[in-house]
Amino acid sequence: MREILVAGARLALSVAFLLLATGCGREQVYQQESYVFGTRVEVLIQGAPPDKARAAAAAVLREFDRLHRTLHAWQPSELTRLNDAIARGEPDVEVSAELAAIVADAARIAAVSDQLFDPAIGKLIGLWGFQSDEFKPLLPPAAEIERLARVRPAMTDLAVEGARITSRNAAVRLDLGGSAKGYALDRAAAILRAQGIRNALINIGGNVMALGDKGGRPWRVGIQHPRAPMPIAMLELRDGEAIGTSGDYQRYFEVDGKRYCHILDPRTGWPAQGTQAVTVLVVPGSPRSAAVGALSDAASKPLFIAGAGAWREMARRLDIDHALRIDASGSIAATRALRERLTFAEDAPAVEVIE
């Protein structure tokens, strides 16, 4: 049996924007990075005095560390305390106002996506070994997968009233990894704006948000090729926009030549098949994008799982006009709105435009 294990193999988005921060304007871009949420995070600030940029970036990284400790799905955190209380069958659990709001927002996105985005399946994610910094390339027992899928823990089992959360299903175990990075982007943007930073780029393992511009030019990012260490296309981000990618190359293992990624289909309990990557761009002002970062992170998952023939309709339901999908064969399809904003290399593959 041949086994291959990859955790965080490549960023969902290339760091091409770093390469563009060169030349005469290089000294105007302040960069600070760290390792949080199991990935590399970066804050780039344009045009601010060094001391101001340094303090603002440090405040963002402190916030990321706080959120990492608050929302961790398998190390002691406020989230694991909530999960343990649900498993004990406690009738209702008091949590922080912040966690209650995050859970309520996740439940709203889950409802629109027919529960394809479903943070309640933490037990399945753990069963597959993806709730670990060093997971093993082993298939779980099929009977146990079937059992957990049959009890179907879902966000619909939860009720959020104020700062109290109630679950009618003890099998619910929340894993907010599908939206936490996006929520962190929103928090970072709020912190930077409060500190008077107008131009910045925030990157959390490929989930990216732009503020303002880079010295009068748009911030540019590269959409990662899912099977090669290079961008498949370039995109200019405008003020307040956020982009998120879900791919089968970020956390996965292979057994007997078959790839099993960390994005699970809640309907079956098995890793989603048929898609290599999905990228969504969320622009401020669309109906569901008050929290632009959180939506950009969460929305890519149901599109990834929905697959061929259904991903575009799922994007419409989530009010996502800008989306790109790469299927299992490597074929690329994009909505017209996103295709018009992408720049491909001269030898780029054909792109099917979906209305």
Distance of alpha carbon 262 from alpha carbon 285, whole angstroms: 31
CATH of domain 78-175: 1.10.3980.10
Distance of alpha carbon 1 from alpha carbon 133, whole angstroms: 23
Res. 251: pLDDT tops 60: yes
- pLDDT at position 97: 98
Banded model confidence at residue 91, pLDDT cuts 50, 70, 90: confident
Distance of alpha carbon 263 from alpha carbon 117, whole angstroms: 10
- Which residues are CB-contacts of 327 (< 8 A; sequence separation ≥ 6)? 274, 275, 276, 307, 308, 333
Please provide the average confidence, as pLDDT, over all residues in the chain. 91
Banded model confidence at residue 18, pLDDT cuts 50, 70, 90: very low
Number of continuous H segments (helices) and E segments (strands) in the chain? 10, 19
User: 169 near 157, Cβ under 8 Å?
Assistant: yes
- pLDDT at position 192: 98
Banded model confidence at residue 345, pLDDT cuts 50, 70, 90: confident
- Give domain limits for the chain: 3-71+179-354, 78-175
Residue 3 vs residue 77, higher pLDDT: 77
User: 322 near 296, Cβ under 8 Å?
Assistant: no
Instruction: Taking residues 169-195, report their average pLDDT.
Output: 97
- What are the pLDDT digits (tens) for 127-136? 999 998 787 8
CATH of domain 3-71+179-354: 3.10.520.10
